[in-house]
Chains A and B, each alone.
Chain A
Amino acid sequence: MKPVRRHLITAALLLALALLFIVLGLAQGDALDTLRKAALICFECIGIG
């Protein structure tokens, strides 16, 4: 198989896997966890945690 085609197939498979993971994550409430963390000042990030 030509490298161009192989790379395209690999990228497409990775994108499909990414989509599956995002859907699974959304289903288990990961986005809300991310929001909870990101919406508060991260003391570790600013160096006082």
Chain B
Amino acid sequence: MSAMSQIYGWYRRSKRRVIQLLAALLYNLNLPGFANASIYQGPTKAICAPGLNCYSCPGAIGACPIGSLQAALGAADRKLPFYLVGTILAFGALLGRTVCGWLCPFGLIQELLDKLPLPKLRKGAWSRALSRGKYVVLGLTVIAIPLGLALFATSSLPFFCAWLCPAGTLEAGLPLLAGNEGLRAIVGWQFVVKLAVLILFVIACLFVYRPFCRFLCPLGALYSFFNRVALLRYRVDESRCTHCKTCVEVCKMDITEVSDRECVQCGACARHCEQQAIAFTLTGLFKNEKSAHDERKSPRRA
């Protein structure tokens, strides 16, 4: 076998991981920032990255959609944040939670931690119940608190960034504090709380698959609303599907069917489907695409 075909074979097997790494690198092209403990201030910071990548990460060349949304909702001018809503809507309609599975650096970090050979907690009723948590986090810490404080108090607070987001602590807090003596001098107990949250999540990642994405991520919660209609996603060919539910069993997320709100489009289902009924397509190429909505409407097909 030639070297080229070996490389191509490796790429086919590792395509998603390669794209995850490239996306993480693309979001963080300001590599000198890590050495200087400073952040990039160029014009690309006006553009939101699709994934969760803190804009105060020394490498970041784009904005974080969740941080920007909280800042816009809490701004004193009280403008409707059309630009951010439009950006999230565009990523959602095009990609849905494909962003989570393929383009999110924090998702990649969690997947790499999951690779460590330790006992894993299997998904079940407990994880399905916890997976609703991300909608609470979105509604409360990203929307209600920043907006409520802006409307009824003198100043706002991006609550999710300030108290919950482990990505901010890992990607921005630790590298900036490590290299900036001035910042280290003003560190207080808020950082201790955020560091504790990060440590808890790292420990959780060792035993639970992608716990932040499944239970807390407000960006994943936003994209999940688009997962069933996104242009690029896994689709099931109804004419080949035997309803064996292997796709649901092999999936590490809390899905009840392919491309539902919990699906991060990782493709484990397609690899395990013996009927080859699942494919990642840009538009609906199958004539008999399966849809949970239609199954509910016509119980005969269930």
Interface residues of A (CB under 8 A from B): 2-5, 7-8, 10-11, 14-15, 17-26, 28, 30-35, 37-42, 44-49
Contact = CB atoms under 8 A, between A and B. Distances in A.
Given A4-B289, A30-B72, A37-B67, A48 B55 contact: no
Interface in B1-27: none
Interface stretch (B127-135, B155-163, B202-210, B246-254): B155-163
Given A44-B162, A45-B173, A34 B168 contact: no
Given A8-B283, A21-B82, A35 B229 contact: no
B83 A45 contact: no
Given A14-B229, A38-B62, A45-B55, 9 more contacts: A18-B86, A21-B86, A24-B83, A25-B85, A30-B83, A30-B84, A40-B41, A42-B67, A45-B67
Contacts of A33: 71-72, 75
A3 B290 CA distance: 8
Contact of A38 (B45, B85, B90, B230): B45
A14 B93 CA distance: 6
Contacts of B48: 34
Contacts of B45: 34-35, 38-39
Contacts of B71: 33-34, 37
B284 A7 contact: yes
Contact of B68 (A18, A34, A40): A34
B256 to A, nearest CB: 17
Contact of B86 (A22, A37, A47): A22
The 10 A-B residue pairs whose C-beta atoms are closest, nearest first, are A25-B83, A21-B86, A4-B284, A30-B83, A47-B191, A25-B82, A22-B86, A14-B93, A45-B168, A47-B194
B291 A31 contact: no
Interface in B55-89: 55-56, 60, 62-64, 67-68, 71-72, 75, 79, 81-87, 89
Interface stretch (B99-107, B109-117, B180-188, B265-273): B180-188
29 contacts: A3-B291, A3-B294, A4-B283, A11-B94, A11-B230, A18-B90, A18-B93, A21-B89, A22-B90, A24-B82, A28-B83, A30-B81, A30-B82, A34-B48, A34-B68, A34-B71, A34-B83, A35-B63, A38-B45, A41-B172, A41-B183, A42-B56, A42-B168, A42-B172, A45-B172, A46-B176, A46-B183, A46-B191, A49-B162
